[in-house]
Structure 1
Amino acid sequence: MSTYRIAVFASGEGSNFQALAEAASAGSLGGAEIALLVCDKPSAPVVQRAEQLGITAHLFNPKDYESREAYEHEIVLRLEELQVNLVVLAGYMRLLTPVIVHQYRGRLINIHPSLLPAFPGKDAIGQALEYGVKLSGVTVHFVDEGMDTGPIIAQKAIHIVSGETAESFAQAVHGVERELYPEVVSWFAQGLVQLEGRQVTVARKS
């Protein structure tokens, strides 16, 4: 049986990248391995994490290309070369074009710090606190052409307590992200995720 390969796209600290790598090392990623880190900021801390873990990185500076499509074509060639099964966005701060979205439709996922469809886009944590909701959380979803509009795969709710700050709630959210994302990736590696229209089901292990 061939290894299930994932590529992680990240732009910053890489805490979710680290969580996925640790899960893979522990054998709790459903047999998946991280075949590639894709990063648009060569000096980002996530690049150092990949180096320490011995994970290959594809680094690029978007300003060196004439368009987003140009550097995404290059990325797709690298993904195909490594026979990547699943693309996992983990703090990747660039919108994807159809070059990647169409090529990996149904095999392209993202994690967002709210209970979508509430508070899509930037600063979801700040949006939730400003709105005054009592419950927010984390969503893992498929990526489509919209902004955080793809079919929802999994969600976990987090209560917002009185006096919660953006910093304290962000810590709670990131803790849940680091648990939920590896679990969802393991479902894909085991072939448990099924998508029909906007409906996502996760089959039970036999």
Structure 2
Amino acid sequence: MNSLATEVLRLLGVRGETLAVAESLTGGLVAAEITAAPGASKSFRGSVTAYATDVKRDILGVDSTLLAERGAVDPQVAAQMAVGVRKVMGADWGISTTGVAGPEAQDGQPVGTVFVAVDGPFAGSGSSSGGGKVASLRLNGDRAEIRMESVRSVLALLLKELAGEQTGNERAQDTEENGGT
């Protein structure tokens, strides 16, 4: 899995951008995966392990009404966590994980329900909150397997956004060069 983190860091480095992480069910595993990769200090700003609901609200700025009505395991909560950690850490990109690793259901959600989110400087967003992406996952396995797959999934989601933007930018540059001759 370290190759995902390595590729994320490579693309962030090429772009001169930074990353921050907000984690709930993964409890620091995403940050550990990123910092295990050489050169992480060039792009990684830090993380917030927001395991408790009040930490999600008070530190990351997740809406208290949303938390009261839907609980912490919700796609909007994941999105707001990514926005919040990006702001708190002063990063270009924010990613987050929230979900149920087990052994019991939480907030009316079964074990294996996970939401991962990315917030960043998306093209055409025009706002500091970016208009992030959220992936809804239904994972199988024991607690450790669900947590590790959540780490892989959030890094893959970020990599997809970084690689997609990179490809789009390269195409735009090619078009300008070709169109100018």
TM-score, length basis structure 1: 0.38
> If each structure's strand is expressed as a fraction of its own residues, which one has the higher value?
1
